[in-house]
Amino acid sequence: MKKTLLSLTLIAAFTLAACGKDDAPAKNTTASQTFVQPVENKTNDGTVGMLLPNFAELVAREGSTVVNIQAASEKDNTSMSNNDDLADNDPFSEFFKRLIPNQPDFPQSENEANFGSGVIISEDGYVMTNAHVIKGMNNIKVTLNDKREYPAKLVGSDEKSDIALLKIDAQNLPAAKIGNPDELKSGEWVAAIGAPFGFDNSVTAGIVSAKNRTLPDETYTPFIQTDVAINPGNSGGPLFNLKGQVVGINSQIYSRSGGFMGISFAIPIDVAMNVADQLKATGKVHRGQLGVIIQEVSYDLAKTFGLDKPTGALIAKVISGSPAEKAGLRVGDIIRSVNDNEVRSSSDLPMTIGALAPGKEVKLGVWRKGNMTEITVTLGEQGSQTALNLNNKAAKPYSGSIDGFEFAAAGLTISVENGVDNSVLLVRKAQGISANAGLRRGDIIVEIAGQAVHNKAEFESAISQAGKNIPVLINRGGNMIFLALILP
């Protein structure tokens, strides 16, 4: 079955899930107090089998900081109002009224309404939720734990981090205490409060499974992975540590079925608060940019570049006119640290750079041709590069074969083709070692061990100097990729 990453917004059409009853809000206490006390699970012989946390006090004290979010688009559909009698005659109508008795008072329309959760982050009415909860909606309502309802103004949203900031006209609200996600450890207990499927103030608990997870198309968020049961409607709700501090904002699940399967992801609260502060100040988020295309350093690539371990971000392309080009970064450089903080994987780099302000100087530790060097870059701002500079599409660079040759040791057959500015080396057949390295028919070989190659003589010269572990830069459909060719 297909595995997918799903956002957690509960979407309803026609029949809309609303909130049920709940207790009055409890008064907050200091952030340093640990609310969750372990409960001993004793065996028959009196020994303690394991320790389980009791979240009752945490929920009583912090549940009032969690809100329900209802968002709809004000586009009335007259055809719906003309069919009220038909809805009343629907045999399933009464069933759904009993199942979901308190339907929200949004006008009926063909447009779907989103339901999610949120958390109060200030006493004067600022509420944080997910950007996908309110995306495309212009009628947003916030329901507090004590059933007070407020229309909400959208201060701003940021789709890259999936964070939105709302403002309601209220004072002296119970604000959540903000924790430090860096202190979280894998295996630590955490709890989520939200409104899955419209069941408000539902509490689920579990452990931190991992930190700094990178998801497809989610470049700028180091997600917290947990096994806390999260479902549609939990979107934007808080993830608490044992001290009752918010450490994350629940955002997505990993699922084959569309329902919870034991893997959920939360946005670290420090990332979310940084976004919220910028949205509050300017209505948008500013992120630093280097202007490079990077790839992961595999074990084999680490060997070809002479690294002691496969860490860092390998630069496959430097964008023309970017801060990286101005600072002197090159294709084949491996960025191993930013301001003396290690870049363990390529996904660390965009998250680290994106968290910094445009115009800020950063010190990069760069591995270049077998040595470490330090390069200072003044960051640009994301979105400032022109579409022309960022265009990766490439027209066919060849118009006819000049000659061909084989590199038998790697099982590689190459033809030399006429290019726009120079001849290029086109892979005609890759088998054996070259196929294992990932080379394919149609790849254009751009560099061998850092040397540009355009003909047979340049190829053979580069190979003779490269040794047995050879980094090969190819152009595949306009995308620059490094591959590791390991000769016997």
Q: Which of 253, 269, 176 is nearest to 209 (CA)?
A: 253
Same domain, 269 and 322: no
| CA distances (Å), origin 488, targets 301, 376, 447, 467 | 16, 39, 20, 10
Task: Report the distance separating Cα 388 and Cα 418, nearest Å.
Answer: 24
Q: Is 88 a catalytic residue?
A: no
Residue 1 belongs to some domain of the structure: no
Q: Which helix (H) or strand (E) holds 129?
A: strand 126-129
Same domain, 118 and 51: yes
Same domain, 363 and 250: no
Same domain, 148 and 185: no
Q: 266 has which bridge partners?
A: 224, 250
Task: Report the distance separating Cα 366 and Cα 445, nearest Å.
Answer: 24
Residue 396 belongs to some domain of the structure: no
Residue 395 belongs to some domain of the structure: no
Q: Which helix (H) or strand (E) holds 300?
A: helix 299-304
Same domain, 354 and 308: yes
Same domain, 79 and 119: yes
Q: Is 162 a catalytic residue?
A: yes
- CATH of residue 103's domain is 2.40.10.10
Per-residue pLDDT tens, the chain, 488 aa: give them. Answer: 344 566 666 655 433 333 333 333 333 434 445 655 555 555 566 555 556 788 999 999 999 999 999 999 876 554 444 444 444 555 444 444 433 444 444 444 455 788 999 999 999 999 999 999 999 898 999 999 999 999 999 999 999 999 999 999 999 999 999 999 999 999 999 999 999 988 989 999 999 999 988 887 767 889 999 999 999 899 999 999 999 999 999 999 887 777 788 899 999 999 999 999 999 999 999 999 999 999 999 999 999 999 999 999 999 999 999 999 999 999 999 999 999 999 999 989 999 999 899 999 999 999 999 999 999 999 999 875 543 344 444 545 566 777 789 999 999 999 999 877 789 999 999 999 999 999 999 999 999 999 999 999 999 999 999 999 999 999 999 999 999 999 98
Q: At 395, phi and psi to the nearest 5?
A: -70, 160
Same domain, 46 and 95: yes
Question: From the centroid of its chain, how far is CA 165?
Answer: 18
Q: Please pick, among 202, 235, 322, 346, the residue that the annotation labels catalytic.
A: 235
Q: Is 454 a catalytic residue?
A: no
Beta strand 139-143 pairing with 66-72: antiparallel
Residue type, 361: E
Same domain, 255 and 314: no
Residue 231 belongs to some domain of the structure: yes
Q: Please pick, among 64, 132, 202, 423, the residue that the annotation labels catalytic.
A: 132
- CATH of residue 362's domain is 2.30.42.10
Same domain, 163 and 16: yes
Q: Which domain holds residue 192?
A: 177-282
3-state secondary structure of 85: helix
**Which residues have C-beta within 8 Å of that of residue 41, sequence separation ≥ 6?**
48, 49, 50, 51, 52
Q: Please pick, among 109, 157, 161, 162, the residue that the annotation labels catalytic.
A: 162
Same domain, 100 and 18: yes
pTM for this entry: 0.76
- Among 370, 390, 410, identify where a domain stops: 390
Q: At 202, phi and psi to the nearest 5?
A: -85, 135
How many domains, in total, are found in the chain?
A: 4
